[in-house]
Structure 1
Amino acid sequence: MTASDEAADRARHAIARRAVLGGMLGTVSSVMMPSGHAQARTSGPPSFGTARSQFTLLAPAKIVPSLPLTRLNGATDNFAAFRGKTVLVNFWATWCAACRVELPILDRLQETMGQKNLKVVAISLDRNGRPAVMPFMQKLKLRHLEVYLDPEGRVGSVGNDNAAAPFPIYGMPISYVVGPSGRIEGYLTGEADWLSDDARNLLSYYASAMAG
């Protein structure tokens, strides 16, 4: 077993422990979701979530605009280059404890499903940018994730910081699924086991939708 596998396994066990606690809390509390989002569905993508939150469909789904993304080395990609793939866009920060749990899982997901038209895009919202992110990535031994920087919130916005940003940040971490056509299909707040069968089924659903 590689170091990447061990990190992902530890992360999955941590999420499982939190899920037990979250399930207990869920019996006495409810989660408020932003208005206008389709929370319940009788058809469409398979369900996926945690004890604390569920994958929430966006209605209507919006197309991600032509959007520059800044790599750790300063080079720039454009989100439009990912058309034709299912994209899992994960927003995180080095100060987020739950992100530390989830990132090794996403790293492993990119390694195992990246060849199946899946792209995991991990976007750091750290204000200090590369000096904060690089040593953090090295400590977690992340080898397969494509990490981008968004210190000014141009891609993901908290509250009303930047209304033009296409991805609202409702919590940390938060993951958006963008379909092969470039539509933002839905999101999930909090860390999740993206290596689980339910998660893979959700991602495969949007990947196969391109052929439908």
Structure 2
Amino acid sequence: MRWKIVIPLVAAAGVASLIAGGVYHHSATTNAREAATQPSSRSQAVETPTSAGVFTMHEQPKQVPELQFVDGEGRAMGLDAFRGKTVLLNIWATWCIPCREEMPSLDRLQAQLGGPDFEVVPLSIDREGLPAVEAFYHELGLEALGIYVDKSASAAYRLGTVGIPTTLLVNAAGLEQGRLIGPAEWDSEDMISLLRRELQSINTASNR
């Protein structure tokens, strides 16, 4: 199934319904679609389709708001902890069925590409916090991924998500390079090739 990309602004009420419903929104109103396709003087987006989903890559990287969450040990941290490496930031929750289905492929992606220059950061917005996420990791046997939790779910609002899962590609300078809304086969051949190309492009740009 192909998922449509829409990036409207999210209101606080929208986040509340997202948390309560646990359903990925793969459709939008006509107005939202039109707003998402309007040209911007600051940045234009290029949709990059793969067999696993559609990544919207920005011609100009975008600022990422400050996020606060905890790691698997309960220690407070933010995205600045990953500064210097490219991050695939995945916003998800254990009650979100598409999120649950894609997590094993994210685990395999981290095992394959994770290292000094790249890391998958799955940020849970579960209100039940670490216990719910730890139990889910144990249930699925996830081993390569770290645990990160924002039980306030403020990250979903601050990032302007319209549903989960939503995944951001954040470059080594902490800027949003691209975004994919909806689930994906993260360790598919197409996706691996796309991410390798983007990593190479990001590294080339940072060395100029």
Name the TM-score, length of structure 2 as normaliser: 0.71
What is the aligned-residue identity percentage?
A: 35
Write the letter of the residue equivalent to 2:199: A
Match of 1:57 in 2: 57
**What whole-Å deviation, never above 9, does each CA across 1:9-59 have from its counterpart, x for those lacking one?**
xxxxxxxxxx3xx59xxxxxx866453574546xxxxx24457x5211346
Q: CA deviation at 1:153?
A: 2.3
Q: CA deviation at 1:199?
A: 1.4
For the Cα contact (< 8 Å) 1:180–1:207, is it kept in 2? no
For the Cα contact (< 8 Å) 1:85–1:207, is it kept in 2? no
Name the TM-score, length of structure 1 as normaliser: 0.70
Write the letter of the residue equivalent to 1:123: L
For the Cα contact (< 8 Å) 1:150–1:156, is it kept in 2? no
Query: What is the alpha-carbon distance in structure 2 between the residues aligned to residue 72 and residue 116 of structure 1?
Result: 20
Query: What is the alpha-carbon distance in structure 2 between the residues aligned to residue 189 and residue 90 of structure 1?
Result: 10
Assess, with a 3 A threshold, how the Cα gap between structure 1 residues 120 and 40 changes in structure 2: closer, same or farther: closer
The alignment yields a C-alpha RMSD, in angstroms, of 2.7
**What whole-Å deviation, never above 9, does each CA across 1:122-172 have from its counterpart, x for those lacking one?**
011111112222111110111111121112123221xxxxxxx2x222222
Match of 1:211 in 2: 204
Query: Is 1:170 the counterpart of 2:147 in the alignment?
Result: no
Name the SS of the counterpart of 2:152 in structure 1.
Answer: coil
Query: Is 1:105 the counterpart of 2:97 in the alignment?
Result: no
Write the letter of the residue equivalent to 2:138: Q
Match of 2:14 in 1: none
For the Cα contact (< 8 Å) 1:84–1:210, is it kept in 2? no
Q: CA deviation at 1:182?
A: 1.5
Query: What is the alpha-carbon distance in structure 2 between the residues aligned to residue 170 and residue 60 of structure 1?
Result: 21
Q: CA deviation at 1:80?
A: 1.6
Match of 2:11 in 1: none
* Superposed counterparts of 1:115-134, under 5 Å: 115=115, 117-134=117-134
Q: CA deviation at 1:66?
A: 5.2
Match of 1:185 in 2: 177
Query: What is the alpha-carbon distance in structure 2 between the residues aligned to residue 177 and residue 204 of structure 1?
Result: 12
Query: What is the alpha-carbon distance in structure 1 between the residues aligned to residue 68 and residue 124 of structure 2?
Result: 14
Query: What is the alpha-carbon distance in structure 1 between the residues aligned to residue 175 and residue 61 of structure 2?
Result: 6
For the Cα contact (< 8 Å) 2:93–2:124, is it kept in 1? yes
Query: What is the alpha-carbon distance in structure 1 between the residues aligned to residue 127 and residue 189 of structure 2?
Result: 35
Match of 2:148 in 1: 148
Q: CA deviation at 1:112?
A: 1.0
Query: What is the alpha-carbon distance in structure 1 between the residues aligned to residue 51 and residue 165 of structure 2?
Result: 13
Assess, with a 3 A threshold, how the Cα gap between structure 1 residues 116 and 205 changes in structure 2: closer, same or farther: farther
For the Cα contact (< 8 Å) 1:88–1:119, is it kept in 2? yes
Gaps of 5+ in 1: 1-18, 24-29, 42-46, 158-164
Gaps of 5+ in 2: 4-26
Q: Which is worse superposed, 105-114 or 116-125?
A: 116-125
Query: What is the alpha-carbon distance in structure 2 between the residues aligned to residue 198 and residue 189 of structure 1?
Result: 17
Query: What is the alpha-carbon distance in structure 2 between the residues aligned to residue 59 and residue 168 of structure 1?
Result: 19
Write the letter of the residue equivalent to 1:170: V
Match of 1:197 in 2: 189
Name the SS of the counterpart of 1:105 in structure 2.
Answer: helix
